[in-house]
Amino acid sequence: MTAHSVQRYGGETRSIDHHLVGGCAEHPATDWDWCVQQRPRIQLVARGSMRIIADEQIHVVPAGQAVWIPAGFRYRVSTAHSLRLWTVEFSDSHDDHPVTVFRAPPLMREMARTSCTWHSTPPEGAPVEAFSAAFVGMLPIWRQNVLPTNIPTAQSRQLRRALAHLLSRLGRPVGLADAALAGAVSERTLQRRCRTELEMSLSTWLTRARVIHSLELLSTPDTDRSVAAIARSCGYNSPAAFTRAFSQLLETTPSAWRNSATLPDLPVPSRR
């Protein structure tokens, strides 16, 4: 496996000759245009969170976690706050595993951090071949620890309107009647389309969307908002109900999640 470049969202390309290439970059809150990457990559969110928006799914990558993006995958990225990314890019790789958000274990975090520290010039004598082989060999194991931080998107115009209405009001007591009104369909029709297009009920989709949104709030840089405040921002009047829904999806509590998401800072190289 030989790596040739790291392409950042800002448009910069760095040419190199090593097997596996890391790069660290900071981005302001923004929405990027649709893109298709030519080479597969791992991106680890060191600060903030990002939404990867594709035709059929929205994938949220919270702070401290990683996403595998295969070559040829069409998507766009949206961030509500500043974002720091550690990117490890591969080439000459035929790994067509689908896009996957997964828990970044400590070993992967350290190896990604090392790749980003090296950039295109590892120190003399660094075991680049062995390091790259170890990273590639461990990747399928790391990806097995999938995070269920994706929600399906609608295909019909009416359901897209209904879901967009709910996503913009996750902190309010919205539900089936509000969504049906926004989609200009009956409640029965909306329920049927949810089962057909989303393969889940609207209530299940809404609960999942609220918990995933809470991950974005927990990942907000320099925030000191309490779990109770975040619960209210996601439509929960009871912190206990929020913690219960969070734990059912992610098998941990909001407080424990926040404590485990902190990553060390890396210097971001100046662009030439």
Of the candidates 26, 4, 23, 24, the residue with the CA atom closest to the CA atom of residue 15: 4
Low-confidence ranges of the chain (pLDDT < 50): 1-18, 269-272
110 backbone φψ class: left, alpha, beta (φ>0; ψ -120 to 50): alpha
The pLDDT of residue 174 is 87
pLDDT tens digits, 221-266: 777 789 999 999 999 999 999 999 999 999 999 999 988 876 666 5
Are residues 15 and 3 in contact, defined by beta-carbon separation less than 8 angstroms? no
pLDDT score, position 120: 66
Over the range 154-181, which residues count as b (16 or more CB within 10 Å of their CB) and which as e? beeebbebbbebbeeebbeebebeebbe
Going along the chain from its start, the domains and CATH numbers come out as: 5-142 (2.60.120.280), 153-260 (1.10.10.60)
What residue ranges in the chain does DSSP mark as E strands? 5-7, 13-15, 21-27, 35-36, 41-47, 50-53, 57-61, 66-69, 74-78, 83-89, 100-102, 150-152
pLDDT number for residue 272: 40
Predicted local confidence at residue 7, as pLDDT: 37
